[in-house]
Structure 1
Amino acid sequence: MSQAETKPRTTGQQEANMSLDNTSHPGRTSPEELVPSRYAVRVGEIDVLVVSDGVLPLPTAMLAHNVDPAVRAAWLDDMFLPPDAIDWALNVVVVRSGSQTILVDAGLGFDPELNLPRAGQLIKRLEAAGIDLASVTDVVLTHMHMDHIGGLLVDGVKDRLRPDLRIHVAAAEVKFWERPDFSHVSMPPGFPDALRSAAKRFMKEYQSYLRPFDDEYEVAPGVVVTRTGGHTPGHSVVRVASGGDGLTFAGDLVFQVGFEHPEWYNGFEHDPEEAARVRVRLLRELAATGELLVATHLPFPSVGHVAGDGDHFRWVPVFWDY
């Protein structure tokens, strides 16, 4: 990767001056890209690039299957969202710390059985950003749902990765997918089978690349992955810290409704009660520190702060700068 022209931007008190190589290629945007698909943030001396993998249309019941449908409908109406199905963002981050380039999650990839053509955009968008797959030294998986591992299963991707690539994932996550329990989820038809299939294929293809950790692991200077559990038994978050600044990539712990109603259960949560407890704990921490939050399914670029009042929170997105 070669150096690219970047523009400074401010996120709160942080100056975000992205220096990931080749993050911008003026004039190369393809005709179908009508909106930006990547957003750069600087955390101290560490570069973070949020990349959109597209959007995933899902039933609105997935936002909160433990509440009265009328209550959920009222929230959707207040948020100017449609009543039956909404587009969930799919965000991935690339972190550059020292000599390491770290891909956190890998997007949906391609699954023709589910007919989700607007998702699975990560590989071409990494290419558009000038990020060569061979430059990725580490992959961190927040968990092994298919919308976090599928990009690595796209035909030809494995051949373009480094032979010494390290894939970091919680040991509890690997163990869970040996015999996954879907008894507490509330997913649309077809998803449980698709999740099982993707995880099984991933383990078969990438077993030798895995570097399982128990509870916490420092992937690179200032980049720490910590197991939280809840969403899945091995679900993890990634905190980036440098020069007094901090950013947490929360994976699937936080959804759009989770600020006002952290007690509402998401349909993909394998232990929804634990997920709610972990969500509240993380949001309290971020409200207290003022550090940045990025999450998989918050609207792109999903960079913002958390304001809190007890166990009720408010999402405060950063102002776009360009």
Structure 2
Amino acid sequence: MNLYNPSHATTPATDELVPSRYALKVGEIDVLVISDGILPLPTETMTTNVAPAARAAWFDHMFLGPDMFDWPLNVAVVRSGDRTILIDGGLGKEFPGFPRAGQLVHRLEAAGIGLASVTDIVITHMHMDHVGGLIGDGVKERLRPDVRIHVAAAEVKFWEAPDFSRTVMPAAVPPVLRSCATRFANEYCSQLRTFDETVEVAPGVVVRRTGGHTPGHSVVDLASGGARLTFAGDAIFPVGFDHPDWQNGFEHDPEEAVRVRVRLLQDVAASGALLVATHLPFPSVCRVAIDGDAFRCVPVIWDF
């Protein structure tokens, strides 16, 4: 059964002039990548351990910047067996400074996916652009009471007393991250299913803690019929292919995040798996090639 069922889809908003969902199969597993919108962010948050001139040169080379850029925000829905799994919850509408993000709920509905059909939710980490969409008005009430929310135990523990000492964020961001994570943990405490290192959520769907970006940051590995896909969360950003050693201002352990990023890109390149990540340009589905000490993102050709 295909995850996307047009016969049950509502009419998309008339102002949506570009595609906001992309369906593919990984063996017998259905995957739908959905854009939650974009976040405008300062370019300096993308590269905090390099000279401003080097950062500016990269953004200019990518026709971005120089001061602000649009950061994509992707989530995914996976169907394996009788489980329908939402990977991350997007930003939601709680943050008025980001009017072009927080699109998940109505885009799920436009794809014919009701919140009540979701059996499991995987949280790659508890930053507000990954859990904010779950704490909006009426969202919890529309989810099934027995929904299982999978998140690393280390992540939940970290947000009890988060350490921002090694991050480089706009001053207003850490308090919002903290309050959002706390609210999410409190509202969904009875549905949380924590794990230490790995958990199989459904046949061929394994969540794996990597750490780095946050202590409990996790990725989702899909495997079926010889095909593979990794949803990498925030382990990889657009600049990470060309410069995997460039640190991101939202990384709580920048050095470990670099090690995680390099290992993940090496593994995906070796296995030939597809890669999807939260902040790569939608739909972000690509393969990874090794290019000397760096990597190349090779986008897949859209299949209609």
- Shorter-chain TM-score above 0.5: yes
Q: CA deviation at 1:27?
A: 8.4
Q: CA deviation at 1:26?
A: 7.9
1:50 to 23, 33, 51: 33
Q: Percent identity?
A: 70
Map 1:217-228; keep pairs closer than 5 Å.
Answer: 217-228=199-210
For the 8 Å contact 1:54–1:119, the answer to whether it is kept is yes
2:236 aligned with 1:254, yes or no? yes
Residue aligning to 1:111 = 94
Residue aligning to 1:145 = 127
> Cα gap change, 1:196/1:26 in structure 2, threshold over 3 Å: closer, same or farther?
closer
For the 8 Å contact 2:9–2:109, the answer to whether it is kept is no
Map 1:1-40; keep pairs closer than 5 Å.
Answer: 19-23=2-6, 28-40=11-23
C-alpha separation in 2, matches of 1:194 and 1:293: 29
Query: Please, what TM-score do these two structures have when normalized by structure 2?
Result: 0.97
C-alpha separation in 2, matches of 1:152 and 1:56: 18
> Cα gap change, 1:279/1:224 in structure 2, threshold over 3 Å: closer, same or farther?
same
Which 5+ residue runs of structure 1 have no aligned equivalent? 4-18
Residue aligning to 1:178 = 160
C-alpha separation in 2, matches of 1:24 and 1:39: 16
2:106 aligned with 1:124, yes or no? yes
For the 8 Å contact 2:10–2:110, the answer to whether it is kept is no
Paired AA for residue 76 in structure 1: F
> Cα gap change, 1:223/1:236 in structure 2, threshold over 3 Å: closer, same or farther?
same
Give the aligned length.
304
2:226 to 226, 244, 260: 244
Residue aligning to 1:13 = none
Q: CA deviation at 1:289?
A: 1.2
Residue aligning to 2:67 = 84
For the 8 Å contact 1:24–1:129, the answer to whether it is kept is no
Q: CA deviation at 1:319?
A: 1.4
SS in 1 for 2:189: helix
Query: Please, what TM-score do these two structures have when normalized by structure 1?
Result: 0.92
Paired AA for residue 59 in structure 2: L
C-alpha separation in 1, matches of 2:150 and 2:10: 36
C-alpha separation in 2, matches of 1:148 and 1:310: 33
C-alpha separation in 1, matches of 2:136 and 2:181: 14
Cα shift readout 1:241-283 (whole Å, capped 9, x = no counterpart): 0000000000000000000100000010000000000000000
